[in-house]
Amino acid sequence: MLAFLGKRLLSLIFTMLAVSVLVFAAFEFTPGQVARKVLGPFATQDQVDQLTERMGLNRPVHERYFEWLGNTVSGDLGTSTLYKTEVNNIIWDRLGNTLLLAAVAFVIIVVLSIVLGIAAGMREGSKLDRSISVASIVTTSVPEFASGVFLASIFVIWLGVLPGTSPLESGGQWSIAAQLVLPVAVMVLYDLGYVVRMVRASMVEVMTKPYIRTAILKGLSFRQVILKHALRNAMIAPFTVILLQINYLITGVVVVEAVFAYPGFGRMLLEAALAQDIAVVEAASLFAVFVTVMTQILGDLGYMYLNPRIRFA
């Protein structure tokens, strides 16, 4: 286990280094001067030259890369040209907002996917199974912006029971909890169907195993068969899939945050990219890769824990 974890952590380090090179090169070698990208198309050449000198952009590329990498490792993420403050002052605040949204959505997705997936898998081919399967396909097929507009049309415009935006401002007409309802609902609807189908498929496969038939023939009740024999084995395969949803919930909800004006990590990354805020985009990209790799590592460790055949191989 320790050897496996060590290899994975080394892989994480090499992946982060490779991504840092690619992210740095993406801004360095794309057409146009870096200073021009920062100042925008209407800046004078004199302003571009002054910023180039001030940022040290006339130095060799490798020197600037290692300086930027060293600053990043030490926690200095640079200064945002869009938000006019240090990147550390904006990125962690936005990340905290997204983590709040992701945590609520993740708990709901996990609970509902396990309940619905097991309910469908226990009775393969039943009306309940077909209903859950069709609903899962439909919700997953609807884009986030479409479901967001649809839900807002009902609960904001028609019924007027929820706010149309989620700025996370307290003290107004709407509470923080009310502001989270629609963004969470869109994320759950979009992501739930995929996880439900994974749990359902795993449950269907487990229910055909010989040890399940043996348990039934021994006279165990259907409830005992499900809880003591089928459930843990059915969760081995979906466990990794469930953990990988963390990556989407933290770094992939750009559309949801944009639709509801939610001050989160994804919206920050979108705004920074549109404004060509290099420091924010570089820092956010590295963090997104870190989250992706870490969720894969946690998924593999959890899979090894749930499956003794892998753990002791």
pLDDT, one tens digit per residue, over 46-97 is 877 887 777 777 778 888 888 888 888 898 888 887 888 899 989 999 999 9
Q: Which long-range contacts (CB under 8 A, 24 or more apart) does 84-91 make?
A: 87/279, 87/280, 87/283, 90/268, 90/280, 91/265, 91/268, 91/280, 91/283, 91/284, 91/287
Task: Report, as an integer, the average pLDDT of 254-258.
Answer: 91
Whether the Cβ atoms of residue 282 and residue 81 lie closer than 8 Å to each other:
no
Cβ neighbours of residue 161 under 8 Å, at least 6 residues apart?
Answer: 155
The residue that leads in pLDDT, 229 or 267, is 267
- More confidently predicted of 104 and 30: 104
Cβ contacts of 270 within 8 Å, gap of 6 or more: 254, 257, 258
84 sits in the region (left: phi over 0; alpha: psi -120 to 50; else beta) called left
Token pair belonging to 174: 């709407």
Residue type, 58: N
Residue-level pLDDT at 34: 67
Q: Are 141 and 217 in contact (CB under 8 A)?
A: no
At 148, the pLDDT band (50, 70, 90 cuts) reads: very high
Q: Is the pLDDT of residue 312 over 70?
A: no
Q: How distant is the alpha carbon of residue 91 from its chain centre?
A: 16
Give the closest residue to 243 by CA, choosing from 187, 173, 281, 298: 298
Q: How far apart are the first and last CA of the chain?
A: 10
- 197-254: per-residue pLDDT in tens? 999 988 888 888 888 888 888 888 877 888 777 877 888 778 888 888 888 888 888 9
Structure tokens at 242: 């469930």
Tokens at 8, concatenated:
């994975």
What is the four-CA torsion angle of 241, 236, 109, 272, rounded to 10 degrees?
-30
Neighbours of 79 (CB within 10 A): 15
Q: Tell me the longest C-alpha to C-alpha distance in the chain.
A: 86
Contact 247, 185 (CB under 8 A): no
pLDDT at 100: 94
Residue 235 in tokens: 């969760």
Q: Is the pLDDT of residue 132 over 90?
A: yes
Beta bridge partner(s), residue 79: 86
Mean pLDDT for 149-162 is 93
Q: Is the pLDDT of residue 291 over 80?
A: yes
- State whether the Cα torsion 41-42-44-47 is positive or negative: negative
* pTM, full prediction: 0.84
